[in-house]
Structure 1
Amino acid sequence: MGSHTIAAGPSPGATAGLLCALALIVAAASVFAGLAQRLRQPAVVGEIVAGVVLGPSVLGLLPGDVVDVVFPPEVMPYLQVLSQLGLVLFMFGVGYEFDAARLRRHGRQVTAVSLTSVALPFALGAALAVALVPWFDRTQMRTDGVLVPALFLGAAMSITAFPVLARIIGERGLQKDRVGVISVACAAIQDVLAWIVLAVVVALAGSTGPWPLVRMALACVALLAALVWLVRPALAWALAPARPWSGALVTHAVLVVGLLLSAWATEAMGLHAVFGAFAFGTVAPRAEVDAAAPEVPERIEQASLLLLPAFFVVTGLSVDLGGLGGHGVLILVAVLVVACAGKFLGAAGAAGLTGANRRDAAVLGVLMNARGLTELVILNVGLGLGVLDGQLFTAMVTMAIVTTVMTGPLLDRFHRPAVPAPRPSEPASRAADDRRPLVVSPDETR
């Protein structure tokens, strides 16, 4: 019989350091999340800021190597693994909440706004990458040409933070408002398009010739086909409430095992694990899960929320606002202008051309401009691929925070709540809302 050598685990010092680091991360994330909510910002904004504060941008300004003391090198590999696990669990939740039926309930306006607010930021982002080529620090990048960075920056500019946007809409009571419903549908379409482009970028960055690229594409198509035609029906059958084994324990095990295996499959193909987790979330049968154990997806989400602060810190350790310099500040300004102009003009312009009044068109432009956590996911993929240098990564992370923070105040400025129905003693004309609703096609009213 063969024998297996058991590898030594982490040293006691590394274990103690990891526990202390996690305690600090969770405490900081909680404090900044609370401050964000007091400022009427999503809690995730505060958690992202906490990650930046614990990095070289703020904590690194203190005397001594404070960052290295708090996050010693022997702790970082374990912290990165936990952050990736939190990311995979989070992306499953994003896919699970993605409702394709929602996209079929809207017509030409959703299509126009979605495509335009992807195409314009993508074009501007790609053009910005071409313009910034002379300032790239090639020692920090693993790509020599401009095609992959241009495609990546275009995809990163095109993203809208679907989960954060849905949370903002819920907090503002816009779930049943026409603008809120359309913005969520548009964000869902945009994220799918951006993830497709990002998958192409990852394949191009990791390929050494045409055949590996074709092989990766075929493997992705095969995986998606298997998920849709085999895995989804099998899950619907296995998780049906009528089964004798139906319950929370089995449902939890099936979903977690499935999302981890899907994440492993895309990672083994050369893509990032988040693609597999997202794809598995989209095929998970919501009706059967909600009937058998509706609390299970929430448990998975809670696990991701515990681990995501570690992801924010790993991201924040690569962000150095103090090291931007003159070129870096110009890059930051250019990134902010391109990001805001591309999203706002693309969404608001398309909404206006398809019949929305100015106020509603502006609200759509503001909502589409929120990047949030989804942007950080894409940026970390790009940093791992070596298609970004430190300055551009810092500028893009800052842009993700700024565009998310500005969404709430701008929404207060442009969105006017509906006027309540007039009291019996009031003339109806005095309380009438003068806003014209977004124009929709007849089939959208069904």
Structure 2
Amino acid sequence: MESHAIAAGAAEAVTGSLLGALALILAAAYVFARLAQRARQPVVVGEIIVGIVLGPSVLGLLPGDLVDVFFPAEVRPYLQVLSQLGLVLFMFGVGYHFDSSHLRGHGRQVTVVSLSSVALPFALGAGLFCVLDPWLTASDMTVDGVLVPALFLGAAMSITAFPVLARIVSERGLQKDRIGAMSIACAAIQDFLAWAVLAVVVALAKSTGAWPLARMALASAALLLVLIYGVRPGLVWLFAPERRWSGSALIHAVLVVGVLLCAWATEAMGLHAVFGAFAFGAVVPRTSIDTTAPEVPERIEQTSLFLLPVFFIVTGLSVNLGGLGGEGLLILLAVLTVACVGKFVGAAGAARLTGATGRESVALGVLLNTRGLTELVILNVGLSLGVLDSRLFTAMVMMAVVTTVMTGPLLDRFHPGTRSVPVWSAEAAKRRRSRDLVPSQEESP
């Protein structure tokens, strides 16, 4: 009886600490998100920065060991679970809004730009790891050899933050602009390629031989076939407007259960949960849901947005700018240089060679250099796999912040007329939504 009382008391203490930590996280995330908007930056920039500020890099420099006070060791596993739940729901939204039409029907220019802006950063990233390998802390890495970490860094360098890029394009009214449309199409194609490569890297990292790797590949292929030819037609039938039982409550329950089951399935296969969440979101029939209950996916996305600040905090707790040292600063400089040169030259160079003007090529290179949240998702996968040490992880996180922050100012410089509407007032937000829904006269063809 006494042991039960002690356990109950410990659980209550952890619950209280967790609730306090969540309150601090959400309040700080809101403040920094509004500050980012006032600086005409995406909200995600403020939320990423608050994760770094509340970690060892800034809060840890103050006296009193405040990081452990606000985020004690016994609370961090629960924060990790909540962050992964938010990540899974977020990846469902990315998959749900992923338009496969971007992957077909496009001309030579989009194809060439997409492949070039994946191949060059991938090659540079893989080569960079081989150069940096002697400087990295082997005890932080659990994967033997250079191949898997090099492939991972190449895939991480190749990514473009599709959701953040889409938000930037929308806020600046570039939906009907040729460069805006091209950037969305290119980002969709290259992210598809980068995620495919990342899935291979994860499989290589987690397999212990040829048969486990083959088994993982077969299981993944089987899941995709079931989702495409079984789950999707079933959802179309179930969500049809003429079904009497079909409604928002049923659709909400089915979607949440489906995304959690698919995330669990890919995690059980040895892949990361984000792959299953993304795949399920991609096969959900949008036409059926838009007709029956269009508000349901938005509810799920709002839940993910509520939990994502926790993900940024968990990420920030692993980032320590003070621990970089002299070699770490050189690693950071090398990462930033390779990331920007690879994406910019790969995209802008290919666009220029296929007929775009100089200004259009530069603007496209700037847009496709956006990393943002998607980069952090990949980096956390790499950290869990043990293919990154703490300094390289910190450098890559800072690269994600810098490349996202620089997109807006560079776009103002090289693609004028696309300045975003200030978003800190309700009236401005209303005008922006109206503009997105009804194209202006200037945007009409």
Q: Is this a same-fold pair by TM over 0.5?
A: yes
Deviation, structure 1 residue 190? 1.0
**Amino acid across the alignment from 1:357:** T
The code of the aligned residue for 1:109 comes to Q
Could you tell me how far apart the structure 2 residues matched to 1:233 and 1:56 are? Answer: 49
Give the aligned residue type for 2:90: F
Q: Distance in 1 between matches of 2:124 and 2:350?
A: 17
2: CA distance between counterparts of 1:207 and 1:103? Answer: 30
| Match of residue 230 from structure 2 | 230
Residue number in structure 2 paired with 1:311: 311
Asked if the contact 2:47/2:309 (under 8 Å) is kept, the reply is: yes
Match of 1:63 in 2: 63
The one-letter code matched in structure 2 to 1:27 is: A
The answer to whether residue 36 in structure 2 is matched with residue 73 in structure 1 is no
Shift of 1:102: 2.9
User: For 1:44 and 1:133, how far apart are their aligned partners in 2?
Assistant: 31
Decide whether the 8 Å contact of 1:138 with 1:144 is kept in 2: no
Instruction: Map Cα deviations across residues 307-361 of structure 1 (whole Å, 9 max, x no partner).
Output: 0000000000000001100000000000000000000000001111111000001
Tell me which amino acid in the other structure corresponds to 1:136. L
The answer to whether the 8 Å contact 1:86/1:303 transfers is yes
User: Which residue in 1 is equivalent to 2:203?
Assistant: 203
Query: What is the CA distance between 1:108 and its match in structure 2?
Result: 1.0
Question: Counterpart of 1:348?
Answer: 348
Cα shift readout 1:178-220 (whole Å, capped 9, x = no counterpart): 1111101111111111111111111111111111000000000
Please give the alpha-carbon distance, in whole angstroms, between the structure 2 residues aligned to 1:132 and 1:208: 26
Mapped pair 1:249 → 2:249? yes
Alignment of 1:72-111 (within 5 A): 72-111=72-111
Amino acid of the residue matched to residue 97 of structure 1? H
Q: Distance in 1 between matches of 2:248 and 2:178?
A: 36
Aligned residue number for residue 262 of structure 2: 262
Cα offset, 1:230, TM superposition: 0.6
Q: Which residue of 1 aligns with 2:442?
A: none
CA shift at 1:27, angstroms? 0.5
**Residues 102, 189 of structure 2: 8 Å contact kept:** no
| Paired AA for residue 12 in structure 1 | E
Letter in 1 for 2:387: V
* Separation in structure 1 between the aligned mates of residue 89 and residue 196 of structure 2, nearest angstrom: 20
- Offset at residue 417 of structure 1 (A): 2.9
What is the identity, as a one-letter code, of the residue corresponding to 1:83?
Answer: S
The separation in 1 between residues aligned to 2:227 and 2:108, in whole angstroms, is 29
**Does residue 1:175 correspond to 2:175, yes or no?**
yes
Equivalent residue runs for 1:256-295 within 5 Å: 256-295=256-295
What is the aligned partner in structure 2 of residue 441 from structure 1?
Answer: none
Offset of residue 109 of structure 1: 1.1
Task: Measure, in 1, the Cα distance between the counterparts of 2:105 and 2:286.
Answer: 18
* Partner amino acid, structure 2, of 1:28: A
Pair 1:322-2:322 in alignment = yes
**Which amino acid in the other structure matches residue 369 of structure 2?**
N
Superposed CA deviations along residues 13-62 of structure 1, whole A, max 9, x for unmatched, are 10000000000000010000000000000011100100000000000000
Cα distance in 1 between the residues matched to 2:240 and 2:382: 40
Deviations 1:107-143 (A, max 9, x none): 1111111100000000000000000110110101001
Output the amino acid matched with 1:15: T
Q: CA deviation at 1:393?
A: 0.1
* Distance in 1, Cα, partners of 2:103 & 2:379: 27
What CA distance in whole angstroms lies between the structure 2 residues aligned with 1:323 and 1:136? 13
For the residues of structure 2 that align with 1:247 and 1:110, how far apart are their CA atoms?
40
TM-score, with structure 2 as normaliser = 0.91
Q: What is the DSSP-based 3-state SS (H/G/I as helix, E as strand, rest coil) of the residue aligned with 1:361?
A: helix
2:368 equivalent in structure 1 = 368
Secondary structure (helix, strand or coil) at the match of 1:132 reads: helix
1:42 maps to a residue whose letter is P
Number of the residue aligned with 2:186: 186
Say if 2:265 and 2:276, in contact at 8 Å, map to a contact too: yes
**Counterpart for residue 390 of structure 1:** 390
Cα separation, 2, equivalents of 1:30 and 1:143: 38
Do the aligned residues in 1 keep the contact of 2:372 with 2:404 (CA within 8 Å)? yes
What SS does structure 1 have at the residue aligned with 2:175? coil
Question: In structure 2, what is the Cα distance between the partners aligned to 1:273 and 1:56?
Answer: 27
1:157-195 Cα deviation digits (max 9, x unpaired)? 000000000000000000111111110111111111111
State the 1:247 CA deviation: 1.2
2:337 match: 337
- Residues 142 and 386, structure 1, Cα contact 8 Å, conserved in 2: yes
**2:106 and 2:291 mapped to 1: Cα distance?**
27
Distance 1:167 1:245 in 2: 35
| Aligned match of 1:133 | 133
| Distance in 1 separating the partners of 2:394 and 2:80 | 19
Q: Aligned pair count?
A: 413
Cα distance in 1 for residues equivalent to 2:144 and 2:226: 36
Quick one: percent identity of the two aligned structures?
74
Aligned partners of 1:179 and 1:353: how far apart in 2?
A: 15
Aligned letter for 1:276? G
Give the whole-Å Cα distance in 2 for the aligned partners of 1:109 and 1:237. Answer: 39
**What is the alpha-carbon distance in structure 2 between the residues aligned to residue 21 and residue 253 of structure 1?**
29
Residues 243-265 of structure 1, C-alpha deviation per residue, up to 9 Å, x if partnerless? 10121111111111111110000
Provide structure 1 residue ranges, at least 5 long, that are not aligned to the other structure. 419-446
Residue equivalent to 1:48? 48
Measured after TM superposition, the shift of residue 416 of structure 1 is 2.6
Check the 8 A contact 1:106/1:182 in 2, yes or no: no
Deviations 1:75-132 (A, max 9, x none): 1111100000000000000000100113324211111111000000000000000001
Provide Cα deviations, 1:386-434, integer angstroms capped at 9, x if missing partner.
000000000000000000000000000011339xxxxxxxxxxxxxxxx
Indicate the residue corresponding to 1:359 in structure 2: 359
1:265-313 C-alpha deviation (Å, 9 max, x unpaired): 0000000000000000110000001111001111001000000000000
Deviation larger for 251-260 or 306-315: 251-260
In structure 1, what residue type is equivalent to 2:297? P
**Aligned counterparts of 2:111 and 2:196: Cα–Cα separation in 1:** 17
Q: After the TM superposition, which parts of structure 1 deviate over 3 Å for at least 4 consecutive aligned residues? A: none
